[in-house]
Amino acid sequence: MRTILFILTFFICATGIGQSDAQKLIITPLTKDFYIYTTFGDPGNGSLYPANGMYLVTSQCAVLFDTPWDTTQFQPLLDSIQTRHNQKVIMCIATHFHSDRTAGLHYYKQKGIKTYTTKHTDDLLKEKNGPRAEFLIYGDTTFNVGRYAFETFYPGKGHSPDNIVLWFGRDSILYGGCFIKSIETNSPGNLSDANITEWIRSIENVQNTFGNPAFTITGHQSWASKKSLSHTLKILKEYKSANSK
């Protein structure tokens, strides 16, 4: 496993403005220095659907996990973090290649924010002419930012062939993105790039690796339940059974 250490030696000035529209960008405290941000996008049926991302605030900077789905909220999210926490975002990691995770990569790269995806995600974005990150992750990697450490973990194919999860061991937070389904739904959702059989094995892999997280952050809808992993497994097994007849 590779380890990347960020040595933070700069100080940030508070120059941002507040979020522009509370209905388009919702920020909810999770625990300690972690916050969930929610934006909204059209999944293709003409209606708006919530997408959850997360950010971490340290004493010297902030880190984004996934980018807003709503392209009008790239800058308001940065401004909100600056206003709320007097910190600047220096890094962003996207968890798979779909636009609800990667839409803001090019924008944030232009802002001087270090953007990351896995090599697998980058290959898919390149193939589809999508926005690409500046830096690539090769294999499971541990990042150290300030006093926090977190791991990227590839569990196997699932919602997409490249999906990764993030593990914050000290705070027992599993950030799952679209790999993990909310208890609000009984549908596996968008299956355009999914592999149900592999997804089942990949969920079990995460369960075996990270046990019972205190917080499990889903890519869409409510993330409050501790049962999202087992619920996702139930959905997938039911879907596979119903479609194998």
Tell me if residue 96 is catalytic. yes
97, part of any domain: yes
Catalytic residue among 120, 159, 220, 231: 159
Residue 81: inside a domain = yes
The string of pLDDT tens digits covering residues 88-99 is: 999 999 999 999
Range of the domain at 141: 2-7+18-242
Residue 161 lies in a domain: yes
Q: Report whether pLDDT(160) > 60.
A: yes
pLDDT-based confidence at residue 112 (cuts at 50, 70, 90): very high
Q: Clarify whether 100 is annotated catalytic.
A: yes
| Res. 6 pLDDT band, cuts 50 70 90 | very low
Q: Annotated catalytic residue: which of 85, 98, 120, 231?
A: 98
Is residue 105 domain-resident?
Answer: yes
- Three-state SS annotation for the chain: CEEEEECCCCCCCCCCCCCCCCCCCEEEEEECCEEEEEEEECCCCCCCEEEEEEEEECCCCEEEECCCCCHHHHHHHHHHHHHHHCCCEEEEECCCCCHHHHCCHHHHHHCCCEEEEEHHHHHHHHHCCCCCCCEEECCCEEEEECCEEEEEECCCCCCCCCCCEEEEHHHCEEEEECCCCCCCCCCCCCCCCCCHHHHHHHHHHHHHHHCCCCEEEECCCCCCCCCHHHHHHHHHHHHHHHCCC
Residue 150 lies in a domain: yes
Catalytic residue among 52, 70, 85, 96: 96
User: Of 190, 193, 195, 205, which one is the catalytic site residue?
Assistant: 190
Structural domains in the chain (count):
1
pLDDT tens per residue, range 17-60: 333 455 899 999 999 999 999 999 998 888 899 999 999 999 99
Catalytic option among 66, 100, 122, 162? 100
Q: What is the pLDDT of residues 135-158, one digit of tens each?
A: 999 999 999 998 999 999 999 999
| 136 falls within a domain | yes
* CATH label of the domain that carries residue 138: 3.60.15.10
Residue 12 in any domain: the answer is no
| Interval 211-245: pLDDT, tens | 999 999 999 999 999 999 999 999 999 999 999 86
- What is the model's pLDDT at position 50? 96
Give a yes or no: residue 13 inside a domain. Answer: no
Residue 52 designated active-site? no
Per-residue pLDDT, averaged over 179-205, amounts to 97
Catalytic-residue membership of 98 = yes
